[in-house]
């Protein structure tokens, strides 16, 4: 036993050393790539500037001519874009169109931060990625496209998820930051770092058919200076409850919706770079709704909050607290861990379910299960199990809490299926959803209503939902 423990300890040490070495190699690669880009740019500049009368190349005049004749931009604006360094955090649905138009507009240096790889489910909205690049790092896929679009710009790849210890060093090399991420913890990290380093921030989000856009910390001012623009914490001083945060994977997204928000981010970035600070517009939240009329609404934002944790005179967030991790963004935003909602006895794997009920469509005289599918109807219509009943989780959560025990039998909400509501049977009830999260919430609700008959009746969820069902039972089940 002692030898095994020693072996395990040795392997852990080797893994830690290898990971540290890999991290160091990644940093060295990034530094080398940046040096190569800078060297190439300097050589190009030296070669092109010899005997040249005009500030732009002949190809640049042709390429950017249509935008340079717009009065709000002009040649001076184009030169500002050429010298600008813009960082895009997230190379997904927002970051792709933003990068596309900023590169097209002639931004001199574009940095992209992302640690994800391209998946086929990305392609309907993340317009820089192509089918042949599935499995490739998103930043590499994006830069490959951007280099073909505009070889005059410099592109810097940060092949990692943004981490607090790295954010200040990355941000310090850029003039402007675009938040193209999709989770609250990273949004607060980006905003805090941008404020502490004096960088304006263009922030956007999109889900289903709606989007939001803000320009923050513009103009950038030190903490305690009320003339500076508000930060993300000023607008949202407390994060939303973790269990209310919905991602594109769960809630869905229409490609042109997130594309619209990403293009607007690029537009706001161009305005920030080319507009004199004295002409900075007042802060505002722009709300886009694809199925509403009008499509856009604008809400005026207040200035910096006097008690903001990062941009007020009472600031408690500093670069040191960000780097050290004492400003814990995950803890601040909370975590929703649905895996711990139910005990092992209240869960069943798809394989175990199939073993107990070999043919759910056949009539079984003893213990025929009721299957409740708690996905929204739009997902239920895509694919569903035979004889399952659709009761959307939104319907369950919207219902008032009902009495439990004997009292519950007469006061069950209308969404409870008749088979499950019957007091004459103890046949099992199984709840299923897409990934095994909402189903656990539904099981707890059903038990609160007393439908487990004080333990006489099985009320359980199918662990892992239809994602696990595809892996364990039916490989042909549609993955969406």
Q: Would you say 205 is a known binding-site residue?
A: no
Known catalytic residue at 8: no
Q: Would you say 180 is a known binding-site residue?
A: no
Location of structure tokens 């004295």: 278
Where in 183-222 does DSSP place strands (E)?
201-207, 210-216
Distance of alpha carbon 134 from alpha carbon 137, whole angstroms: 8
Distance of alpha carbon 459 from alpha carbon 431, whole angstroms: 8
Q: Would you say 343 is a known binding-site residue?
A: no
Quick one: which of 238, 237, 175 has its CA closest to 201?
175
Buried b (16+ CB within 10 A) or exposed e, 357-371: beebeeeeeeeebbb
Q: Would you say 383 is a known binding-site residue?
A: no
Q: Would you say 123 is a known binding-site residue?
A: yes
Q: Would you say 8 is a known binding-site residue?
A: no
Known catalytic residue at 333: no
What is the SS3 assignment for 430? strand
Q: Would you say 308 is a known binding-site residue?
A: yes
What is the SS3 assignment for 446? helix
Q: Would you say 444 is a known binding-site residue?
A: no
Where in 270-414 does DSSP place strands (E)?
284-289, 296-300, 347-348, 370-373, 389-390
CB 228 within 8 A of CB 311: yes
Q: Would you say 387 is a known binding-site residue?
A: no
Q: Would you say 169 is a known binding-site residue?
A: no
DSSP assignment of 246-306 equals --HHHH-B-HHHHHHHHHHHHHHHHHHHHS-GGGPPPPEEEEEETTSSSSEEEEEPP---T
From 96, 180, 333, 433, active-site residue: 433
Dihedral of alpha carbons 46, 50, 54, 56, sign: negative
Q: Collect all residues with Cβ–Cβ distance below 8 Å to 295 and sequence separation of at least 6.
A: 288, 289
Strand order, beta sheet including 347-348: 347-348, 459-462, 429-432, 370-373, 389-390
CB atoms within 10 A of CB 251: 11
Helices (H), 88-158: 95-105, 138-149
Q: Would you say 173 is a known binding-site residue?
A: no
Q: Would you say 461 is a known binding-site residue?
A: no
CB 251 within 8 A of CB 209: no
From 8, 180, 248, 333, active-site residue: 248
Q: What are phi and psi of 349, to 5 degrees?
A: -80, 160
Quick one: which of 239, 241, 221 has its CA closest to 230?
221
Quick one: which of 387, 88, 394 has its CA closest to 251?
394
Distance of alpha carbon 87 from alpha carbon 171, whole angstroms: 7
Q: What are phi and psi of 86, to 5 degrees?
A: -120, 130
Q: Would you say 114 is a known binding-site residue?
A: yes
Q: Would you say 231 is a known binding-site residue?
A: yes
Write out the catalytic residue numbers.
248, 433
Q: Which residues are annotated as a binding site for ATP?
A: 93, 114, 121-125, 138, 182-183
Q: Which residues are annotated as a binding site for Zn(2+)?
A: 231, 234, 308, 311
Q: Which residues are annotated as a binding site?
A: 93, 114, 121-125, 138, 182-183, 231, 234, 308, 311
């Amino acid at each position: 036993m002692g030898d095994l423990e020693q072996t395990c300890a040795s392997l852990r040490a080797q893994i830690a050393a290898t990971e540290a070495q890999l991290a160091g190699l990644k940093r060295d690669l990034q530094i080398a790539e940046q040096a190569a880009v800078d060297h190439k740019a300097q050589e190009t500049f030296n070669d092109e500037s010899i005997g040249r009368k005009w500030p732009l190349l002949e190809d640049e005049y042709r390429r950017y001519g249509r935008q340079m004749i717009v009065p709000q931009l002009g040649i001076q604006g184009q030169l500002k874009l050429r010298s600008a360094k813009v960082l895009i955090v997230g190379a997904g649905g927002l970051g792709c169109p933003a990068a596309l138009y900023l590169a097209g507009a002639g931004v001199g240096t574009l940095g992209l931060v992302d640690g994800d790889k391209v998946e086929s489910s990305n392609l309907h909205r993340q317009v820089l990625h192509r089918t042949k690049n599935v499995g490739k790092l998103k930043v590499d896929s994006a830069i490959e496209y951007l280099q073909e679009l505009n070889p005059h710009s410099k592109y810097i790849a940060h092949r990692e998820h943004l981490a607090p210890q790295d954010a200040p060093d990355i941000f310090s090399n850029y003039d402007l930051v675009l938040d193209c991420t999709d989770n609250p913890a990273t949004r607060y990290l980006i905003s805090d770092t941008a404020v502490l380093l004096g960088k304006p921030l263009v922030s956007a989000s999109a889900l289903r058919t709606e989007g939001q856009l803000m320009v923050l910390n513009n103009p950038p001012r030190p903490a305690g200076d009320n003339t500076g623009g508000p930060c993300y914490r000023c607008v949202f001083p407390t994060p939303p409850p973790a269990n209310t945060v919905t991602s594109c994977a769960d809630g869905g997204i229409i490609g042109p919706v997130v594309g619209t928000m990403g293009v607007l981010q690029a537009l706001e970035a161009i305005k920030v770079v080319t507009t004199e600070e004295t002409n900075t517009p007042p802060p505002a939240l722009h709300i886009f709704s694809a199925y509403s009329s009008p499509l856009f609404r604008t809400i005026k934002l207040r200035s910096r909050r006097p008690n903001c944790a990062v941009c007020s005179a009472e600031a408690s967030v500093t670069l040191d607290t960000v780097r050290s991790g004492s400003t814990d963004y995950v803890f601040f935003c909370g975590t929703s861990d649905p895996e711990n909602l139910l005990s092992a006895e209240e869960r069943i794997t798809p394989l175990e379910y199939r073993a107990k009920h070999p043919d759910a469509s056949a009539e079984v005289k003893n213990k025929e299960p009721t299957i409740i599918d708690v996905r929204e109807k739009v997902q239920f219509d895509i694919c569903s199990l035979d004889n399952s009943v659709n009761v959307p989780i939104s319907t369950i959560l919207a219902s008032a809490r009902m009495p439990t025990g004997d009292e519950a039998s007469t006061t069950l909400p209308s969404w409870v299926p008749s088979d499950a509501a019957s007091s004459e049977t103890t046949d099992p009830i199984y709840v299923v959803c897409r990934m095994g999260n909402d189903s656990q919430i539904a099981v707890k609700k059903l038990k609160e209503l007393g439908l487990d008959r004080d333990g006489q009746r099985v009320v359980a969820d199918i662990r892992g939902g239809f994602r696990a069902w595809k892996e364990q039972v039916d490989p042909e089940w549609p993955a969406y």
